[in-house]
Amino acid sequence: MDYQFEAVGPTLRIVTLVFMIVFAFCILGLLVVLAALPGALAKRNRHPQANTVNLLGWLGLPTGALWVVALAWAYWDYSPKSGVQAISSDLEGQLTALELAVSKLESSLSGTNQ
């Protein structure tokens, strides 16, 4: 009994091998993207410990649990409220200085138009 596609056998083996290699590279690429995800998110959010989050993401990928911790840490609200208040008071000072400069400019323009 002859196999109908016997001549195609070696070609199918090569095609299967190529597909398996491509699939392995896709899986490897997905693992790299997943491992780098917490670090990339931390850098995008300007996290002060972005490098540590990145390292924990790479080390935590084999365990899974540490990778989840790194992902949560990348989104953690780390900004102290006093920093926001300091920026707000600085902006208030700049606004007061601008209002003073505008009032001086208006008074000098009204003095020259009379």
Task: Answer left, alpha or beta for residue 82, where phi above 0 means left and psi between -120 and 50 means alpha.
Answer: alpha
pLDDT tens figures, 41-54:
999 988 888 899 99
| pLDDT surpasses 80 at 103 | yes
| pLDDT surpasses 70 at 82 | no
| pLDDT surpasses 70 at 64 | yes
| pLDDT surpasses 60 at 33 | yes
| pLDDT of res. 20 | 97
Q: Rounded CA gap, 57 and 71, in Å?
A: 7
Which whole number is the average pLDDT over 48-64? 90
Q: Which amino acid is at 73?
A: W
pTM: 0.57
Kindly indicate the confidence band of residue 91, based on its pLDDT and cuts at 50, 70 and 90: confident
Could you tell me where the DSSP H helices lie in 9-64? 9-44, 50-60
Angle at 16 between CA 14 and CA 19, to 5 degrees: 110
CA dihedral sign of residues 27, 28, 29, 35: positive
| pLDDT surpasses 90 at 76 | no
Cβ contact 53:67 at 8 Å: no
| pLDDT surpasses 90 at 27 | yes
Cβ contact 42:50 at 8 Å: yes
| pLDDT of res. 35 | 93
* Contacts of 78 by beta carbon, 8 Å cutoff, 6+ apart: 47, 48, 49
| pLDDT surpasses 90 at 24 | yes
* Contacts of 9 by beta carbon, 8 Å cutoff, 6+ apart: 3
